[in-house]
Amino acid sequence: MLFIGVVANAQDLQKLGKGKAFDKGGSIGVGMMMTAQQGIQARRVPFSWYINGSPTLKFYDITLPFSFVYSEQERNFTQPFNKYGVSPNYKWLTLHAGWRNVHYSDYTLAGATFLGGGFDINPGKFRAGAIYGKFRNKTVVNGEQTSRFSYLLPSYERWGFGAKVGFGKGGNYTDLIFFRAKDRLDNSVMQRADSSNVRPMENVAIGLKSNYTVLKKIDINLDFAVSAVTLDSRLVDRIDGLKAIQPYKNIIKINRSTVPYLAGVASIGYFYKFFRIRAEYRRVDPEYQTLGSYYVNNDLEQYTLSPSLTILKGKIMLNGSYGIRTNNLLGDQINTTTNRIGSAFLNINPKPNYGFTFNYSNYGTNTGNGQAILNDSIIFSVVNQSYGGNFRVTKTKGDLSKNFNLNSQYQNLNDNNIVTRAFTESRSFIINAGYNVGRGKKGFNAGSGLNYSNIKTYNRVFQLLGPVINIRKNLKKIKTNISGNASFLMKFQNTATQGNVTNFGVNLTYTPHKKHNFNLLANATFNNTNIASIYTFREQRLSFRYNYQL
C-alpha cells in the first residue's frame, strides 16, 4: 500500500496526560467502477477497483493521521508516496517531524515539501525557527522507463536548511529569513541527467518579511528577498568579479552559472469603518527562483490600487481594483508586454430574500518595442472586457422554500491591430436560469434550469441550448437517499444543427448505521452528431463504494 502525504495540524501538548489515553478515527473504503463505450475508443479500463483510507490514531491530545490508496493501476513510480508528518506544540514551542510544508516567505522557503525536522518558538515577542531535511529524492531513470513514461526525468537528491529570527507577535512582526539548498552529486543520476537538461543546483536566499498595523487603521506589508542560484555546481571556474554575489561566496559555490535575483512586494492599506483602500507594488526579476518554492511568477513589475466601500449596513458593497503590469525588466526580449487590469464588483441586498450582483472586468494587453522594432502586422494590442450580473429571489414558508436564480455573462475581445482584428476578435454570451423548490421536513428537493451559450469567433457562431432537471429524496425510514439528474444540450454552428448530448444519472446512498455507508452511482451519456469528423457515441458508467467509519 502507498501512503499519501496529508497535513497534520499542530497538537497542543499542554493537556498531555489529562485526556483520553487512546482513541481512533477516520475511515476506510473500498470501491469499484465498470465502464462501457460504443462508437469511440475506451477512455477508461472496463473494470477498476481501489482501497483507500484515512485512519487516525489519537494519544491523549496528539493526533496521528494516516492516508493510503491501493488499486490495480500502475504504481511503479520512482518518487515514493510514503509521506507522513506531525507538528505538535507546547505553549510557545512547535516541533516539526516527517514530511512537512513550511512557509517562511513567498520568495525564500515557500511551501516546498521536505522530509526532516524543525521547530518554531515564540516566547513573548521573540520569534525564531529552523528546519532541515530532504527536499527531493534521487531519481535514476533507465531507458525502459523513458520509453514508457516520457515525462519522467532524473533528479539529484536535494537537501536544504532554513532558519528565521524575528520580533513581534500575532499579525505584527518582522522576520529575517535564511534558506540554503544543495543537490548531491551522484554518478548514477548524472548518466541521463545531462541529456535531459537536468543539472545539480545550489541556492541561497535571504529575505525580510514584515507586517504591521499602525493606529488600528493602517496596514503595512513587506516581503523582500535576494536569491543566488548556481545552475550547475559541477563547474569549477570561479567568478570573483561579480559584486552582487560576493556576500554568498562562503555559503554557496560560485561559478559562471551563478545568477543573483531580486524580488519583493510592498503594500499599504487604510481602512476606516465602511471604507478601505490598498496600494501595492511588486517587482520580480526575470527567471527568479528559489529551491524552497516550486514556482515563482517572475519577470514582472506591477502596480495595483484596490478600494472598497460598504454602506447602508452592508446592503450595498462595492469593490474595485486597477493595476498595470509590465515585463521585459532587463530589456533583453524582442518586445515588452503591458497589461492593464481593472475590475469592479457591486452587491446590492435590499432585503434578505432577494438581491443583485454586478461585475465588470477589463484586461488590456499590448506589446511595445524591445530589442526589435515591431511592424504593424505583428504588434499585439487587445482589450478583453467582461460584464456580468446575477438576480436571486428566495421565498420560505414553513419548511417550504423556493429559489429563483438568473445569471448572465458577456465577454468580448477587441483587437486594436487593424491587420489582425478581422481574424482574432471574438465575443461570448452565456445565460442560465434555475428554479429550485424544497421541503425540509420531507427531505425532498427538485430543480430545473435552462442554459444558453452564444460564442462568436472568426466567421463562425457556436450556440448551445438545453434544459437540466434534478430531483432528490431522503427516505428516512429505510435510511436511503436517492437522487437523479438529466440534461439535454443542442449544438448549433451558424444556423445549422450540429447534434446534441443527453446525459442521465442516478445516485443511491444507503446508511444502515453511522459507521457504514454504501453508495451506487449510474451514469449514461449519448452524443449524437451529423458531422463526419466527430464521433457519435454512447458511454455508460457504474460505480460502487463502501465506506467504514473507524
Per residue in 503-534, pLDDT tens? 999 999 999 998 999 999 999 999 988 776 56
Alpha carbon distances (Å) from 38 to 43, 291, 436, 477, 527: 11, 48, 35, 40, 10
User: Is the pLDDT higher at 64 or at 187?
Assistant: 187
Q: What is the pLDDT of residues 294-305, one digit of tens each?
A: 989 899 999 999
Confidence of residue 252 (pLDDT cuts 50, 70, 90): confident
- Other Cβ atoms closer than 10 A to 491: 22
**Arithmetic mean of pLDDT over the chain:** 84
Alpha-carbon distance 513 to 24, whole Å? 18
Interacting residues of 414 by C-beta distance below 8 A, sequence separation 6+: 382, 383, 384, 385, 421, 425
- Other Cβ atoms closer than 10 A to 265: 19
Interacting residues of 97 by C-beta distance below 8 A, sequence separation 6+: 85, 86, 87, 117
| Grid-cell match 571556474, residue found | 237
Among 59, 62, 66, smallest CA distance to 84 is for 66
- 10: cell is 499542530
- 51: cell is 482501497
pTM, 2 dp: 0.75
Alpha-carbon distance 435 to 449, whole Å? 6
The one-character DSSP state at 244 is G
The ranges assigned to domains in the chain are 1-84, 92-298, 300-435, 459-550
Mean per-residue pLDDT, 16-27: 71
State which H helix or E strand residue 323 sits in: strand 316-326
- Strands 110-121 and 93-103 come out as antiparallel
* Rounded to 5°, angle at Cα 535 from 532 and 538: 145
Alpha-carbon distance 199 to 289, whole Å? 15
Q: Is 410 helix (H, G, I), strand (E, B) or coil?
A: strand
Q: Where does residue 245 fall: left (phi above 0), alpha (psi -120 to 50 degrees), or beta otherwise?
A: alpha
Please report, rounded to a whole number, the percentage of residues in the chain having pLDDT higher than 70.
82
Q: What is the pLDDT of residues 119-157, one digit of tens each?
A: 999 999 999 999 999 999 888 876 554 444 455 778 899
Alpha-carbon distance 205 to 224, whole Å? 10
Confidence of residue 42 (pLDDT cuts 50, 70, 90): confident
DSSP sequence for 251-289: TS--STTEEEEEEEEEEEEEEETTEEEEEEEEEE-TT--
Highest mean pLDDT, choosing among 2-16, 20-34, 486-500: 486-500
Highest mean pLDDT, choosing among 58-62, 85-89, 183-187, 403-407: 403-407
Q: Bridge-partner residues for 86, per DSSP? A: 97
Q: Is 354 helix (H, G, I), strand (E, B) or coil?
A: strand
Alpha carbon distances (Å) from 80 to 4, 382, 428: 9, 46, 45
Q: Bridge-partner residues for 544, per DSSP? A: 32, 520
Q: Which of 184-188, 379-383, 515-519 is predicted least confidently?
A: 379-383
